[in-house]
Structure 1
Amino acid sequence: MLGISGVQLGEIGGHGEKTYPWECCGLLLGTGDGGQARVLQVWPAANAWDASTAEMFERGGDEPIRDWQTQERRYTIAPEVMLAAQKTARDRHWRILGIYHSHPNHEAVPSECDRQWAWPEYYYLIVSVAEGVARESRCWQLDEQGQFQEVPLSVESGENA
Protein backbone atom coordinates (compact mmCIF):
# COMPACT_ATOMS: atom_id res chain seq x y z
CA MET A 1 0.00 0.00 0.00
CA LEU A 2 1.16 3.52 -0.78
CA GLY A 3 -0.07 6.30 1.48
CA ILE A 4 -0.44 9.71 -0.12
CA SER A 5 -2.40 12.81 0.79
CA GLY A 6 -5.19 14.21 -1.32
CA VAL A 7 -3.17 17.44 -1.61
CA GLN A 8 -0.17 15.53 -2.98
CA LEU A 9 -2.35 13.61 -5.42
CA GLY A 10 -3.79 16.96 -6.51
CA GLU A 11 -0.25 18.29 -7.09
CA ILE A 12 0.48 15.36 -9.37
CA GLY A 13 -2.78 15.78 -11.26
CA GLY A 14 -2.12 19.51 -11.59
CA HIS A 15 1.35 18.80 -12.96
CA GLY A 16 -0.20 16.47 -15.55
CA GLU A 17 -2.75 19.10 -16.55
CA LYS A 18 -0.08 21.81 -16.82
CA THR A 19 2.15 19.75 -19.13
CA TYR A 20 -0.67 18.26 -21.23
CA PRO A 21 -0.49 17.00 -23.99
CA TRP A 22 3.00 15.90 -22.93
CA GLU A 23 3.80 13.47 -20.16
CA CYS A 24 4.71 14.97 -16.83
CA CYS A 25 7.05 13.21 -14.44
CA GLY A 26 8.42 13.49 -10.95
CA LEU A 27 9.52 11.62 -7.88
CA LEU A 28 7.80 10.40 -4.74
CA LEU A 29 9.88 10.88 -1.58
CA GLY A 30 9.01 9.34 1.75
CA THR A 31 9.42 6.47 4.15
CA GLY A 32 8.64 2.80 4.36
CA ASP A 33 9.16 -0.39 2.42
CA GLY A 34 7.94 -3.96 2.35
CA GLY A 35 4.57 -3.08 0.91
CA GLN A 36 3.85 -0.13 3.26
CA ALA A 37 5.13 3.28 2.26
CA ARG A 38 4.10 6.88 2.81
CA VAL A 39 4.73 9.80 0.45
CA LEU A 40 6.04 12.81 2.37
CA GLN A 41 6.99 14.98 -0.60
CA VAL A 42 6.12 15.16 -4.29
CA TRP A 43 9.16 16.25 -6.31
CA PRO A 44 8.06 17.53 -9.75
CA ALA A 45 10.63 17.26 -12.54
CA ALA A 46 10.88 18.52 -16.08
CA ASN A 47 10.37 15.87 -18.73
CA ALA A 48 13.89 15.61 -20.17
CA TRP A 49 12.90 13.24 -22.99
CA ASP A 50 14.06 14.30 -26.44
CA ALA A 51 15.31 12.71 -29.66
CA SER A 52 18.86 12.35 -28.34
CA THR A 53 17.54 10.64 -25.20
CA ALA A 54 15.55 8.25 -27.37
CA GLU A 55 18.74 7.22 -29.15
CA MET A 56 20.25 6.12 -25.83
CA PHE A 57 17.47 3.60 -25.30
CA GLU A 58 17.02 0.53 -27.41
CA ARG A 59 13.88 0.88 -29.50
CA GLY A 60 11.37 -1.90 -28.99
CA GLY A 61 7.89 -2.78 -30.15
CA ASP A 62 6.03 -1.70 -33.24
CA GLU A 63 5.60 1.97 -32.45
CA PRO A 64 6.54 4.42 -35.20
CA ILE A 65 9.76 6.28 -34.48
CA ARG A 66 7.82 9.57 -34.33
CA ASP A 67 5.99 8.20 -31.23
CA TRP A 68 9.24 6.99 -29.73
CA GLN A 69 10.85 10.42 -29.79
CA THR A 70 8.07 12.53 -28.33
CA GLN A 71 7.25 13.73 -24.82
CA GLU A 72 3.63 12.84 -25.54
CA ARG A 73 4.58 9.17 -25.19
CA ARG A 74 7.79 9.10 -23.14
CA TYR A 75 9.46 10.71 -20.16
CA THR A 76 12.78 10.69 -18.42
CA ILE A 77 14.13 12.50 -15.40
CA ALA A 78 17.54 14.15 -15.75
CA PRO A 79 20.29 12.51 -13.66
CA GLU A 80 21.02 15.75 -11.79
CA VAL A 81 17.37 15.92 -10.69
CA MET A 82 17.52 12.33 -9.46
CA LEU A 83 20.70 13.11 -7.51
CA ALA A 84 19.23 16.25 -5.92
CA ALA A 85 16.11 14.35 -4.86
CA GLN A 86 18.18 11.47 -3.53
CA LYS A 87 20.33 13.87 -1.47
CA THR A 88 17.27 15.65 -0.06
CA ALA A 89 15.65 12.33 0.82
CA ARG A 90 18.81 11.03 2.48
CA ASP A 91 19.24 14.26 4.48
CA ARG A 92 15.69 13.84 5.82
CA HIS A 93 16.14 10.10 6.50
CA TRP A 94 13.71 9.31 3.69
CA ARG A 95 14.21 7.63 0.36
CA ILE A 96 12.95 7.89 -3.19
CA LEU A 97 9.86 5.69 -3.10
CA GLY A 98 9.12 5.89 -6.78
CA ILE A 99 8.22 7.84 -9.85
CA TYR A 100 5.02 9.43 -11.04
CA HIS A 101 4.10 10.31 -14.58
CA SER A 102 1.05 11.06 -16.66
CA HIS A 103 -0.55 9.27 -19.57
CA PRO A 104 -2.11 11.93 -21.80
CA ASN A 105 -5.36 10.61 -23.30
CA HIS A 106 -4.60 7.08 -22.06
CA GLU A 107 -5.53 4.98 -19.06
CA ALA A 108 -3.49 5.04 -15.86
CA VAL A 109 -2.08 1.63 -16.76
CA PRO A 110 1.63 1.00 -17.38
CA SER A 111 2.79 0.63 -20.97
CA GLU A 112 5.23 -2.03 -22.11
CA CYS A 113 7.88 0.70 -22.19
CA ASP A 114 7.05 1.55 -18.55
CA ARG A 115 7.53 -2.11 -17.66
CA GLN A 116 10.81 -2.52 -19.50
CA TRP A 117 12.43 0.43 -17.73
CA ALA A 118 10.88 0.00 -14.28
CA TRP A 119 12.90 -0.74 -11.17
CA PRO A 120 11.39 -3.42 -8.88
CA GLU A 121 11.89 -1.41 -5.67
CA TYR A 122 10.00 1.65 -6.97
CA TYR A 123 6.33 2.51 -6.91
CA TYR A 124 4.98 3.90 -10.19
CA LEU A 125 2.04 6.27 -9.83
CA ILE A 126 0.34 7.04 -13.14
CA VAL A 127 -2.27 9.74 -13.64
CA SER A 128 -4.53 9.63 -16.67
CA VAL A 129 -5.00 13.10 -18.18
CA ALA A 130 -7.87 13.14 -20.69
CA GLU A 131 -8.29 16.24 -22.84
CA GLY A 132 -6.23 18.24 -20.34
CA VAL A 133 -8.08 17.13 -17.19
CA ALA A 134 -6.52 14.77 -14.62
CA ARG A 135 -8.83 11.83 -14.12
CA GLU A 136 -7.74 8.58 -12.54
CA SER A 137 -4.55 7.87 -10.57
CA ARG A 138 -3.30 4.34 -10.03
CA CYS A 139 -0.15 2.91 -8.52
CA TRP A 140 1.92 -0.06 -9.72
CA GLN A 141 4.98 -2.07 -8.73
CA LEU A 142 6.91 -4.85 -10.45
CA ASP A 143 6.52 -8.36 -9.05
CA GLU A 144 9.18 -11.10 -8.95
CA GLN A 145 8.36 -12.06 -12.55
CA GLY A 146 8.89 -8.50 -13.80
CA GLN A 147 5.18 -7.81 -14.32
CA PHE A 148 3.31 -4.83 -12.93
CA GLN A 149 0.85 -5.45 -10.13
CA GLU A 150 -1.48 -2.74 -8.90
CA VAL A 151 -0.73 -1.34 -5.45
CA PRO A 152 -3.60 0.10 -3.41
CA LEU A 153 -3.43 3.85 -2.80
CA SER A 154 -4.41 5.06 0.65
CA VAL A 155 -5.48 8.65 0.03
CA GLU A 156 -5.63 10.62 3.27
CA SER A 157 -6.77 14.13 4.03
CA GLY A 158 -4.22 16.71 5.06
CA GLU A 159 -1.04 17.91 3.43
CA ASN A 160 1.01 14.78 4.08
CA ALA A 161 -0.18 11.18 4.10
Structure 2
Amino acid sequence: MIKFSQEHLQTIRTHAESTYPDECCGIILGYLANEGKTVVEVMPTENAWNTQAAAQFPGERTTESKRRQYTIAPEVMLKTQKQARDRSLNIIGIFHSHPDHPAIPSECDRLYAWQGYSYIIVTVQNGKAGELRSWSLDDTHKFQVEAIENII
Protein backbone atom coordinates (compact mmCIF):
# COMPACT_ATOMS: atom_id res chain seq x y z
CA MET A 1 0.00 0.00 0.00
CA ILE A 2 1.11 3.56 -0.68
CA LYS A 3 -0.36 6.54 1.20
CA PHE A 4 -0.78 9.93 -0.52
CA SER A 5 -2.30 13.23 0.53
CA GLN A 6 -4.79 14.80 -1.89
CA GLU A 7 -2.21 17.55 -2.48
CA HIS A 8 0.38 15.01 -3.63
CA LEU A 9 -2.08 13.33 -5.99
CA GLN A 10 -3.09 16.72 -7.38
CA THR A 11 0.58 17.59 -8.01
CA ILE A 12 0.90 14.46 -10.16
CA ARG A 13 -2.30 15.19 -12.09
CA THR A 14 -1.35 18.84 -12.67
CA HIS A 15 2.12 17.91 -13.93
CA ALA A 16 0.60 15.28 -16.26
CA GLU A 17 -1.83 17.80 -17.73
CA SER A 18 0.90 20.44 -18.15
CA THR A 19 3.11 18.14 -20.26
CA TYR A 20 0.34 16.65 -22.42
CA PRO A 21 0.60 15.29 -25.12
CA ASP A 22 4.03 14.17 -23.86
CA GLU A 23 4.55 11.86 -20.90
CA CYS A 24 5.37 13.51 -17.62
CA CYS A 25 7.54 11.99 -14.92
CA GLY A 26 8.70 12.57 -11.39
CA ILE A 27 10.10 11.16 -8.19
CA ILE A 28 8.23 10.25 -5.01
CA LEU A 29 9.94 10.60 -1.62
CA GLY A 30 8.74 9.15 1.64
CA TYR A 31 9.02 6.55 4.34
CA LEU A 32 8.94 2.77 4.25
CA ALA A 33 7.14 0.96 7.06
CA ASN A 34 5.55 -2.43 7.70
CA GLU A 35 2.12 -1.06 6.80
CA GLY A 36 3.36 0.31 3.48
CA LYS A 37 4.84 3.48 2.04
CA THR A 38 3.95 7.01 3.11
CA VAL A 39 4.54 9.84 0.65
CA VAL A 40 6.19 12.99 2.01
CA GLU A 41 7.03 14.77 -1.24
CA VAL A 42 6.20 14.50 -4.94
CA MET A 43 8.88 16.02 -7.20
CA PRO A 44 7.89 16.68 -10.81
CA THR A 45 10.92 16.34 -13.11
CA GLU A 46 11.64 17.01 -16.75
CA ASN A 47 11.08 14.15 -19.17
CA ALA A 48 14.67 13.82 -20.39
CA TRP A 49 13.81 11.36 -23.18
CA ASN A 50 15.71 12.18 -26.38
CA THR A 51 17.77 10.33 -28.97
CA GLN A 52 20.76 10.26 -26.63
CA ALA A 53 18.65 8.73 -23.85
CA ALA A 54 17.15 6.28 -26.34
CA ALA A 55 20.62 5.06 -27.31
CA GLN A 56 21.08 3.82 -23.73
CA PHE A 57 18.24 1.31 -24.16
CA PRO A 58 18.28 -1.69 -26.51
CA GLY A 59 15.55 -2.55 -28.98
CA GLU A 60 12.82 -0.53 -30.59
CA ARG A 61 12.72 2.28 -28.01
CA THR A 62 15.08 4.42 -30.10
CA THR A 63 12.21 5.38 -32.41
CA GLU A 64 9.89 6.45 -29.60
CA SER A 65 9.31 10.03 -28.55
CA LYS A 66 8.35 11.74 -25.29
CA ARG A 67 4.75 10.97 -26.21
CA ARG A 68 5.37 7.28 -25.50
CA GLN A 69 8.51 7.19 -23.33
CA TYR A 70 10.01 8.93 -20.37
CA THR A 71 13.27 8.97 -18.52
CA ILE A 72 14.52 10.90 -15.54
CA ALA A 73 18.05 12.18 -16.07
CA PRO A 74 20.55 10.09 -14.05
CA GLU A 75 22.05 13.22 -12.46
CA VAL A 76 18.57 14.21 -11.23
CA MET A 77 18.05 10.75 -9.70
CA LEU A 78 21.46 10.86 -7.98
CA LYS A 79 20.97 14.38 -6.64
CA THR A 80 17.48 13.51 -5.39
CA GLN A 81 18.74 10.32 -3.75
CA LYS A 82 21.40 12.29 -1.86
CA GLN A 83 18.93 14.99 -0.79
CA ALA A 84 16.46 12.32 0.36
CA ARG A 85 19.15 10.57 2.40
CA ASP A 86 20.13 13.89 4.01
CA ARG A 87 16.49 14.29 5.10
CA SER A 88 16.17 10.65 6.31
CA LEU A 89 13.79 9.88 3.44
CA ASN A 90 13.81 7.32 0.65
CA ILE A 91 12.92 7.40 -3.00
CA ILE A 92 9.83 5.19 -2.76
CA GLY A 93 8.47 5.58 -6.26
CA ILE A 94 8.36 7.08 -9.70
CA PHE A 95 5.35 8.56 -11.45
CA HIS A 96 4.59 9.13 -15.09
CA SER A 97 1.65 9.68 -17.39
CA HIS A 98 0.17 7.73 -20.27
CA PRO A 99 -1.23 10.28 -22.74
CA ASP A 100 -4.42 8.92 -24.34
CA HIS A 101 -3.70 5.43 -22.97
CA PRO A 102 -4.82 3.53 -19.85
CA ALA A 103 -2.98 3.74 -16.52
CA ILE A 104 -1.56 0.26 -17.09
CA PRO A 105 2.21 -0.39 -17.29
CA SER A 106 3.68 -1.06 -20.70
CA GLU A 107 6.21 -3.81 -21.34
CA CYS A 108 8.96 -1.15 -21.38
CA ASP A 109 7.69 0.14 -18.02
CA ARG A 110 8.10 -3.39 -16.66
CA LEU A 111 11.50 -4.08 -18.21
CA TYR A 112 13.10 -0.99 -16.70
CA ALA A 113 11.30 -0.95 -13.34
CA TRP A 114 13.06 -1.59 -10.03
CA GLN A 115 11.68 -3.80 -7.28
CA GLY A 116 10.73 -1.97 -4.11
CA TYR A 117 9.50 1.14 -5.92
CA SER A 118 5.89 2.12 -6.49
CA TYR A 119 5.10 3.12 -10.06
CA ILE A 120 2.26 5.60 -10.27
CA ILE A 121 0.68 5.96 -13.71
CA VAL A 122 -1.94 8.56 -14.52
CA THR A 123 -3.89 8.47 -17.75
CA VAL A 124 -4.37 11.79 -19.55
CA GLN A 125 -7.20 11.83 -22.08
CA ASN A 126 -7.36 14.88 -24.35
CA GLY A 127 -5.31 16.92 -21.88
CA LYS A 128 -7.34 16.01 -18.77
CA ALA A 129 -5.88 13.73 -16.06
CA GLY A 130 -8.04 10.73 -15.28
CA GLU A 131 -7.45 7.39 -13.61
CA LEU A 132 -4.38 7.16 -11.40
CA ARG A 133 -3.08 3.73 -10.32
CA SER A 134 -0.08 2.41 -8.44
CA TRP A 135 1.88 -0.67 -9.45
CA SER A 136 4.77 -2.58 -7.89
CA LEU A 137 6.85 -5.51 -9.07
CA ASP A 138 6.38 -8.92 -7.50
CA ASP A 139 9.11 -11.54 -7.04
CA THR A 140 8.73 -12.69 -10.66
CA HIS A 141 9.22 -9.13 -12.03
CA LYS A 142 5.54 -8.78 -12.95
CA PHE A 143 3.52 -5.68 -12.05
CA GLN A 144 0.79 -6.02 -9.45
CA VAL A 145 -1.75 -3.34 -8.53
CA GLU A 146 -0.81 -1.56 -5.32
CA ALA A 147 -3.52 -0.03 -3.15
CA ILE A 148 -3.53 3.77 -2.81
CA GLU A 149 -4.76 5.20 0.47
CA ASN A 150 -5.59 8.87 0.89
CA ILE A 151 -4.24 10.56 4.00
CA ILE A 152 -5.21 13.92 5.41
TM-score exceeds 0.5: yes
Partner of 2:16: 16
Partner of 2:138: 143
Q: 1 or 2 for the larger relative contact order (CA 8 Å, sep ≥6)?
A: 1
Matched, 1:102 2:83: no
Partner of 2:127: 132
SS at match of 1:44: strand
Q: What is the CA–CA distance in structure 2 between the aligned matches of 1:32 and 1:92, rounded to whole Å?
A: 14
Matched, 1:4 2:18: no
Q: What is the CA–CA distance in structure 2 between the aligned matches of 1:98 and 1:117, rounded to whole Å?
A: 13
Cα RMSD of the aligned pairs, angstroms, is: 1.3
Q: How does 1:1-161 map to 2 (within 5 A)?
A: 1-33=1-33, 36-60=36-60, 66=63, 68=64, 70-157=65-152
Residues 128, 135 of structure 1: 8 Å contact kept: yes
Compared with structure 1, are the counterparts of its residues 35 and 73 closer, same or farther at alpha carbon in structure 2 (3 Å cutoff)?
A: farther
SS at match of 1:56: coil
- Superimposed CA distance per residue, residues 28-58 of structure 1 (whole angstroms, 9 cap, x where no aligned partner): 0000145600010001110000012112101
SS at match of 1:150: strand
Q: What is the CA–CA distance in structure 1 between the aligned matches of 2:52 and 2:35, rounded to whole Å?
A: 36
Unaligned runs of 5+ in 1: none
Residues 43, 85 of structure 1: 8 Å contact kept: no
Tell which deviates more after alignment, 34-43 or 129-138. Answer: 34-43
Identity among equivalent pairs (%):
46
Query: Which amino acid in the other structure matches residue 97 of structure 1?
Result: I
Runs ≥4 in structure 1, deviation > 6 angstroms? none
Compared with structure 1, are the counterparts of its residues 121 and 34 closer, same or farther at alpha carbon in structure 2 (3 Å cutoff)?
A: farther
Query: Which amino acid in the other structure matches residue 23 of structure 1?
Result: E
What displacement does 1:79 show?
Answer: 1.1
Q: What is the CA–CA distance in structure 2 between the aligned matches of 1:96 and 1:71, rounded to whole Å?
A: 23
Unaligned runs of 5+ in 2: none
